[in-house]
Every structure is written in structure tokens, then in C-alpha cells.
Structure 1
Amino acid sequence: MNQYDEIKQGEKGAWVSIGAYLVLSALKLAAGYWFVSGALVADGFNNLTDIVASAAVLIGLRISQKPPDKDHPYGHFRAETIAALIASFIMATVGIQVLISAVKSLFSPEHSVPDLTSAWVALFAALCMAGVYMYNRRLALRINNQALLAAAKDNLSDALVSTGAAIGIIGAQFGLPWLDPVAAFAVGVIICKTAWEIFYSSTHALTDGFDANELSTMRSTIARTKGVKSIKDIKARVHGSHVLVDVIVQVDPELTLVESHQICDEIENRMGRKHNIMSVHVHVEPHDIAEEFEYMADKK
């Protein structure tokens, strides 16, 4: 399966999310109005906004499948990251709305007691979204797709929101109306925390940030390649769900062009096997012992 086929697989997860949100939002809104449950109505409107987030992920996945062109020689894979970033904004908006609504409800003098049936509807919705979350998370990890992983985290947040609504409704039956806004506030904090994690990860990737420990591991793999005398420089960046690596290695100056090229091929093969990185640009330079000693001195 190539990289475009993997992205195509990711579309299935986005469609599953959209389908689930369409059905559950209609169910929650109808049950919320029928059984007089403000928490369930709010949860239903929350799912309507989630449809927009899932649609953004789907659009991002579609754009990322476009082949390279003269304006995008590296392809359009970063559309995945932008889709995840948009999803984080939508999640943060929903989380803040949940927090504001919870605080208002907590200090409101009037608390209505919804029908207990609405709690069962909320629990059913929570179980459905938990199932969607597990499906999308497994798929995202299998194809290494950050946009779909962001959508999966959104699915989990919605399962928690529905669980919080159910807890509040059940608590109201036992004369604990304050339990609803407290549970909603806790859920709002979780949603905002998840949104921040996705936002940080997306912006870090878009600004060419890369994990220093992971880069160090890649450096060790290349350094142990037969024929590599030293590594002059190595850089890596995330491009959608793929990693691009640029490395300058120094080899024996007595080697022929063909022999140096074979070392490059071995580096690319090792990076693919050990780190699943298929885009490695290797530049070869003649090894200079004096330059290496100077480099080591600077490192100390």
C-alpha cells in the first residue's frame, strides 16, 4: 500500500465520524427537547459542530492525495496537518462553550429535572462514540495519519461529553442538580486540553519543528551504516504524516562515485526498515579528519 492508498483509507474514518454525528445529533436533539434535558440538547448541538470538524478532516485528506505539481513539488501532504489544526480550533470553541455553559448552570437559581430516559440516550451515544473513537484511532495509527488521529481524539471528547451529560441527568434524579454543571465543567476542561495538544502538535509540525530525541536515534542509525565515517549535518521535518530527512555524511575520499552511491542506498534502506522513512536525501562529502576533530571540540 503506497502513501496515497493510506490516505484513501483514512477517508473511511472521516466518513464514519460524519455518519455517527449526523445520527446521534438528531437523536440527542429530539430526545433532549422531548424529555426536557438541557444537557442532552447542548450535547446534540456539540455534535453538529463536530460534523464541521470531521468535514474539515475529510477535505484535508482529499487535498493531500493530490500529486506533486510545479507549485507543490513535495506534494500536498501538509493539508492533513492543516485539517488537524482546524479541528483543534473547533474543539477549543466547543470546550470553551461547555465551560461557560457549565459555570452559568452552576450558579443558576433554577434547575429542571429531566426525564431519566434522556440519561440512557446519552449513555447509548457515549458507547457509540467510544466505538467510533477506537475504530478511528486504530486506523490512524495503522496508516500513521495525524489528521485522522485528531478526529479520533475529537470522538473521545464527544464520548466524554455524553457521559458527563448522563451523570448530570442521573444526579438530578437524586436531588443533586449541581452534579450536571460540575460534570460538564470537567468535560470542558478535557476537551480544551485535547484541543491544545492537537494545536501544539500541528503548529510544531507546520513550523518544521522535530523531536530532538527521534532525530538523535536517526543519527545513530546512519552513523552505524557501513562506510559512513562521520555525519556533518542532519535535519528532519514532518510533511503531513511523512518525515523528510536531509543528511550530509562524510566517507572515505578514496571511494569511487559508485561506491559512495551504494552507501547512500544503504542509508535509505536502513532508514526505511528501522524508522519507516522513505524520503531521505543523502549528500556525500569526503571525510576530513581535521574537520571532525574541530567538530568534536565544538561539541564539548
Structure 2
Amino acid sequence: MLNLLIDKLIGSRDFSKKRNRDNLIKISGYLSLAINIVLFLMKISIGLLASSIAIISDAINNLTDSLSSVVTILGAKFAAKPADHDHPYGHGRSEYIASMFIGMFVLLVGFELLINSVKNVINPKDINTSIFTIIILIISIGLKFYMYLFNNKVYKLSDSLLNKSVAKDSINDVLATSIVLISSLLTPLLKINLDGIVGLLISLIIIKSGIEIFAEIGNVLLGKKVDDKIIEEIEDLILSKKYVRGVHKIDIHEYGKGRMFGSCHMEVPANIDVYSMHGIVDEVENEIREKLGIDMNIHVDPSYLLEKDKFKKIEDESVLDDIDK
């Protein structure tokens, strides 16, 4: 289904382009919103009819997921906004802030369900399980597992932490609803009211998911180190250029996916003319931007002399003139 949506609504599978990536994230948000609203309405209905705190808790969890889907859509829209006077590096970090709001929603619901579940354990209520309840729960598990697969694939295509958070939340929902289903089947057989205990387990699963989302997003917002592979690629590219002897102080900052800026110090001959060196720096900066998608600002450090026995290798006459002086 994802490929069909991509072909119909986006028309391209090149997600290195920011516009395609943002549209893909918004599509996943709209689909998740629709499924979560349907699940909430089904579960809250059977939860109230069965007087089950576990099913009602699971329904409220889906309502929270609906709010998370809205945040996903809004986050993708804000992240797509171009740079302006007040935000010269763009609005890409809106995606991370949106993910943090998702984590906050998840935690709030988890703690609320924890309180209600403890109350239900202390004062259990009779529940009424029907075949209709079982069918709804099974459908819910299937839809949530599909959402996990869908968002996980979107995450792999777009490298979006928003979709990674939603995928993680969806697989937790599969586990939570599976526990509710098992509880609904065992309670009448064992003659033991497991409803409050199951609600307690679900709340702990939800709280754990919220903490994990907060930890990952917080790490990014605090300035998580970029992948060492990116640093190595920058070094290899710079050191492949003529006259360059070394590179150090590579600093890379991320302002959302596809919005990376950096600086470094490049070691060059002390006796090379400014005009020639400026051309080399421009070439390096353009190549890093095209190949790695990083806007680099390169500072030149004079660190050695260009030897006369290498004159024959130099095609730029301005370099020779500068050395002769």
C-alpha cells in the first residue's frame, strides 16, 4: 500500500529531496490518524460496555496515538518551511520538537492509566467479555501491526525520527492489546479478575515507550555527535585535493534531516597565492555540498612550504609567481 500511495501522491521515490521526504512523512501521519481514530471508537465502545479498565486504557492509548499523528503531520509541515530571517538554518528541528511532544503525550497517558489501574486493582469491577470484544481486539492487533510495518518502512526510507517513534509506539500497542486479549480470554476461565493487573502492565509499557522517545530526541536536541562515517568521508574528500596536507577541527551541526552545516580547518602551503587557494576551497565546499549534503565553511591554515622541485606539477602560473617572490 505504501508504494501505491507514493506513486499516486508523491510521484517519486527519491527521498533525498526534502519535498518528497516531507510529503512521505505527512502521508504516514494522515494514515495513522485515520486508523487510530477508528480503533479508539471501537475500543472505547466495547470497553464501556464490558466495564473493562484494560480495554478503556487501550482505547485512550489509541486516542493519544491520534494526537501523536496530528503532531506528526504538523511537525512535517513546519519542518518543510524554508529558512527565513529569524531561522537562517531552516525549520528542520521542528520534526524533533514534534517527536518530543509525542513522547510527552505518551508519558502523560501512561501515568494516568497507571493511577486508574492501581485503583482498579484495589477495587476490581466485574467485566463482561463477549465474542464481539474478542473480534475487535484481534482486528486492533492486526491494524496496529500493520501500522508498525508501515511506519518502520517510512522511517527506513526517510530516516525520520518521527516515524521511528510512531513505529515503536505501534509495536508497544500490539503488545498491550495482546495482553488485553489474553486477559479477556483467561478471566472467565480462571474466575480471576485480571483487568486491573493488565491495565497496570499496559501503563508501564506506555511509560517505558515515552521515556525511550524522550531519551532519543533529547540526545539529538542536545547536540548528538554525527556519524563517524560522515567525518571520515569529509576527511577523505578534502585530503584528495592537491596542495592539501591535512584537515582538523571538523565540526558538524544538524538542523533537521538534510540540513547540516559545518566548518573545518584545512592545512595548505604557506607560500601559495590567495587566488589559487580560494579556487581549491570553493571546489571542496561545492563537492561536500553535492556529495554529502553539508554546507561547509572552510578555514585555511598555512602549515608548510610548497617545494620548488614540485613546480613542474603546478599548472597555475599565479602559484609560481608567488613562490618566485
Q: 1:189 to 1:229 in 2, by over 3 A?
A: farther
Structure 1 counterpart of 2:266, one-letter code: Q
Contact persistence 1:237–1:244 (CA under 8 A): yes
Which amino acid in 2 is paired with 1:217?
Answer: K
Distance 2:180 2:137 in 1: 7
| Partner Cα separation in structure 2 for residue 66 and residue 222 of structure 1 | 28
Find out whether 1:117 has 2:138 as its counterpart: no
The AA in structure 2 aligned to 1:13 is S
Is 2:280 aligned against 1:265? Answer: no
Structure 2 length normalisation: TM-score? 0.78
Are residues 1:98 and 2:119 paired?
Answer: no
**Alpha-carbon distance between aligned partners in 2 of 1:109 and 1:41, rounded to the nearest angstrom:** 14
Aligned to 2:208: 193
**Map 1:64-143 → 2, pairs under 5 A:** 64-108=79-123, 110-143=125-158
Cross-structure match for 2:233 = 221
Contact 2:107–2:210 (8 Å) recurs in 1: yes
The 1:206–1:119 alpha-carbon spacing in structure 2 relative to 1, beyond 3 Å, is same
| Alignment partners' CA distance in 2, 1:49 and 1:221 | 41
- Shift of the alpha carbon at 1:183? 3.7
For the aligned residue pairs, the C-alpha RMSD in angstroms reads: 2.4
Match of 1:166 among 181, 184, 199: 181
Q: 1:234 maps to what in 2?
A: 250
> How far did 1:56 drift?
1.4
The whole-number CA distance in structure 1 between the counterparts of 2:40 and 2:248 is 56
- Cα deviations across residues 227-268 of structure 1 (Å, max 9, x unaligned)? 342223112233222351413132322371223322333444
Shift of 1:134: 0.9
Shift of 1:27: 1.0
Give 1:49's match in structure 2, choosing from 32, 45, 64: 64
Counterpart Cα distance in 2 of 1:15 and 1:75: 24
Letter in 2 for 1:8: N
Matching residue's letter, 1:265: N
Q: CA deviation at 1:166?
A: 0.8
Give the counterpart letter for 1:129 in structure 2.
K
1:8 maps to 2:20: no
Aligned to 2:301: 286
Match of 1:246 among 262, 267, 281: 262
Deviates more, 1:177-186 or 1:19-28: 177-186
Gaps of 5+ in 1: 291-300
Answer with 1 or 2: which has the greater Rg. Answer: 2
Query: Comparing 249-258 with 63-72, which one deviates more in the overlay?
Result: 249-258
Q: CA–CA distance in 2 between the matches of 1:89 and 1:83?
A: 10
The answer for the alignment partner of 1:298 in structure 2 is none
Separation of aligned partners in 2, 1:289 and 1:177: 82
**1:44, distance to aligned residue in structure 2 (A):** 1.6
Deviations 1:38-88 (A, max 9, x none): 322222222222212211121111111112111111111111111100000
Write the distance in 2 (CA, Å) between the matches of 1:97 and 1:168: 21
Following TM superposition, by how much is the alpha carbon of 1:176 offset from its aligned partner in structure 2, in angstroms?
5.5
How much has 1:154 moved relative to structure 2?
A: 2.3
The 1:266/1:56 distance shift into structure 2, 3 A limit, reads closer
User: Residue 282 of structure 1: CA displacement?
Assistant: 3.4
Q: Which letter does structure 1 place at the counterpart of 2:36?
A: Y
Q: 1:100 to 1:116 in 2, by over 3 A?
A: farther
The one-letter code matched in structure 1 to 2:284 is I
SS of equivalent residue, structure 2 residue 247: strand
Paired residues of 1:171 and 1:180 also in contact (CA < 8 A): no
Distance 1:27 1:120 in 2: 11
Q: Deviation per CA, 1:104-138: give whole Å up to 9, x if none.
A: 33333554353353133212101111101210111
Aligned residues, how many? 281
| 2:176–2:205 Cα contact (<8 Å) kept | no
Range with greater deviation from structure 2 (87-96 or 144-153)? 144-153
Cα displacement (A) at 1:178: 5.2
Where 2:89 maps in the other structure, the secondary structure is coil
